[in-house]
Structure 1
């Protein structure tokens, strides 16, 4: 059922402190009800009880409702890799990168997560965009590792393992909640153990 959000007096608000949250809720509800392709920005703003100009103060377009924050996550990853002590190995730096993103994994984000994933899964364009987001994280971490002097192939492999752990950890976090940093650590450890098992099986 859609969530109709308006101001207390029924008027369209020019600004509200919870405008972004209201827009996200309205967008996800509309995407679920009538499809991503059939939802216009004007409808999202109307459902949220806000104006189109308010929408565009928070998001470039309706797709950013689903994928906003990618740049922030990449910056956190890159910064953590750069700050890892010089003697640490690539996967230690990758672990630090994943843990650094934990501050963005809020209760609000978790509440929207299942609905967001369902919308993405139901649209080819959005699935492709989600895959490209992960590619972007891998490139960002690879470049950050190379700046630490890690050889290109090793940097790329470590980054890809980090992305796999990040993606799987996100799924675990949506299911059970908790500290995403600790979940990321455990998931990366599981990924490393899987790689070691494959090597032993050769």
Structure 2
């Protein structure tokens, strides 16, 4: 008999770890919320208290990441360009990707890469991030099409940075990789 503990601390992290293990072992499509809850030693109700569905286990935290971008742009004083605003936002977002999250992020990406529906979900989340960055830049006084170009560029740099950060053998900090990627962009475009 499995004993379900209702209010044990760390339930969300346990659910996240159990989900990732099950997704890797069984595949995303064949794993249910009930399976995840059981593997974590929790109830299905507890699962739904933390996540709206089994996809959100992989995408939890997107709102906080988006807030970092928007808040940095809103608080910026006298940036040299819209791209510089976005670069500052990505540098601040590096706090969301400490080295201790790298192994989890690698495993998470393997699950996403194996499932077209999850790939689509990730693309939608990135499109939403670009939209929010565009809006934040517009509120900061950046005119179109500059706001959209800077936002889309930032999301691209963010994506390339993330892919390098989770690459096998990579050990540089997220912020260092982002700085290098922006350096590459500046070299390509003379920004």
Q: TM-score, normalised by structure 2?
A: 0.91
Instruction: Identify the residue that residue 181 of structure 1 maps to in structure 2.
Output: 175
1:31-54 residue CA offsets vs partner (Å, 9 max, x unmatched): 122221111100000011111122
C-alpha distance in 2, partners of 1:130/1:59?
Answer: 16
Which residues of structure 1 form unaligned runs of 5+? 1-9, 198-202
Q: Shift in Å at residue 196 of structure 1?
A: 3.6
Instruction: Identify the residue that residue 155 of structure 1 maps to in structure 2.
Output: 147
Q: Shift in Å at residue 173 of structure 1?
A: 1.8
Q: Shift in Å at residue 87 of structure 1?
A: 4.4
Instruction: Identify the residue that residue 30 of structure 2 maps to in structure 1.
Output: 38
Quick check: 1:139 aligned with 2:131? Answer: yes
1:134-193 residue CA offsets vs partner (Å, 9 max, x unmatched): 111111111111112111111111111111110111122223244322322221221232
Please tell me whether the aligned partners of residues 11 and 49 of structure 1 are also in contact (alpha carbons under 8 angstroms): yes
Q: Shift in Å at residue 106 of structure 1?
A: 3.0
Instruction: Identify the residue that residue 6 of structure 1 maps to in structure 2.
Output: none
The correspondence for 1:49, drawn from 32, 41, 54, is 41
**Structure 2 counterparts to residues 1-202 of structure 1, below 5 A:** 11-175=3-167, 176-196=170-190
Please tell me whether the aligned partners of residues 78 and 140 of structure 1 are also in contact (alpha carbons under 8 angstroms): yes
1:116-150 residue CA offsets vs partner (Å, 9 max, x unmatched): 11111111111111111111111111111111211
Q: TM-score, normalised by structure 1?
A: 0.86
C-alpha distance in 2, partners of 1:105/1:12?
Answer: 32
C-alpha distance in 1, partners of 2:49/2:93?
Answer: 24
Please tell me whether the aligned partners of residues 22 and 31 of structure 2 are also in contact (alpha carbons under 8 angstroms): yes
Please tell me whether the aligned partners of residues 98 and 174 of structure 2 are also in contact (alpha carbons under 8 angstroms): no
